[in-house]
Amino acid sequence: MEQGFTKLCAMSALKEGVGASFEVDLHNIAVFLVEGMVYAVSNVCPHQHIPLISEGNLENHVVTCPMHGWQYDIKTGKGVHGAGSIKSYETCIEDATLYVKIEEAQNQDLW
Ligand code: FES
């Protein structure tokens, strides 16, 4: 595996369509399993810096922050509704274990 990936969890710990959150090296990461694909983005909403993205409602790859409704595309972290975007992390699955790339997160300038 490439350098920079950190183990997050067993794939069996993830449930289809339900977010999960993890803390790794000061990164608070929200993970979503959708149709067999895993997406990892920042768990922290840039609106009021509240770490609840993993608990947001998910529909068509768009997660809605449960606090005030800002929305993000979990494939890219880009904002769909609201004034911000969130970091997107590269993921890798090996031996039924999920890894996420911490060092070179995309959208590094964003939350
Ligand atoms: S904290 Fe997420 S929309 Fe306000």
Q: In the predicted model, is pLDDT for residue 104 greater than 90? A: no
Question: Would you give the DSSP letter of residue 83?
Answer: S
Phi/psi at 82 (nearest 5 deg)? 110, -175
Whether 105 shows a pLDDT value over 50: the answer reads: no
Res 98 pLDDT > 90: yes
Cα 58 to middle of ligand 1, angstroms: 15
Closest C-alpha to 27, from 93, 85, 104: 104
Q: Is 81 in the pocket of ligand 1 (CB under 6 A)?
A: no
Ligand 1 centroid distance, CA of 6 (Å): 28
Mean pLDDT of 20-48: 96
Q: What is the pLDDT of residue 106?
A: 52
CB 45 near ligand 1, within 6 Å: yes
Q: Give dist(CA 95, CA 82) in Å, integer.
A: 38
The residue-averaged pLDDT of 50-77 equals: 98
Q: Which atom of ligand 1 is nearest to the CA of 66?
A: 2
pLDDT averaged over the chain?
Answer: 93
8 A C-beta contact, residue 65 and residue 54? no
- Across 4-20, average pLDDT: 96
Radius of gyration of the chain (CA): 13
pTM, 2 dp: 0.91
Take atom 4 of ligand 1 and give the residue whose Cα is closest: 68
Question: Is the pLDDT higher at 103 or at 58?
Answer: 58
Mean pLDDT, residues 85-109: 84
